[in-house]
Amino acid sequence: MAESPSASPTANAKFANFTAPMTGDQTFELFGRPAKYTVVYFYPKDNTPGCTTEAIAFRDRYPEFETVNTAIYGVSRDSLKSHENFKAKLGLPFELISDPDETVCNQFDVMKMKNMYGKKVRGVERSTFVFDADGRIVKEWRGVKVSDHVDEVLEFVKSQP
């Protein structure tokens, strides 16, 4: 399963390697990825309006991410079965990481208390991290608003040398 990071995520920090189960009967491993950049985005739940909109935006811009050698992975606490269905329903060209025990979410410090319909609930704070090929965080966004976020991530990786 996941390994503990040496420090909490911070821009320019080297992140500890970790593995996690993902769709396509594969295992995600941060290090050793062939891409120049790796985008790991955290979202609350499959098949909800905001999460569907965000996944579709990453799907639609995916060819542009590929042209700048950038891989994309989504992470939520949903099961692999839920992820497989969500991925198939939306035609996502990238894999989704399943984190039902919140191991990866806790490593990235994305579990937060949220207010949902007047009740306090613990949930995933929508967040995105960009890693370089050495596993160093080069950019992070927390408390993401879905509108225009994917464009912002794409512009960032395009602007890198």
pLDDT in tens, 113-129: 888 788 888 899 999 99
Domain locations along the chain: 38-159
pLDDT in tens, 30-72: 887 778 999 999 999 999 999 999 999 999 999 999 999 999 9
Q: Which CATH number fits domain 38-159: 3.40.50.80, 3.10.450.50, 3.30.70.270, 3.40.30.10?
A: 3.40.30.10
Range of lowest pLDDT (12-21, 88-97, 100-109, 150-159): 12-21
In the 8-state DSSP scheme, what is residue 67? Answer: H
- Residue positions annotated with a catalytic role: 51
Place of tokens 């993401």: 144
Rounded distance, CA 100 to CA 46, Å?
12
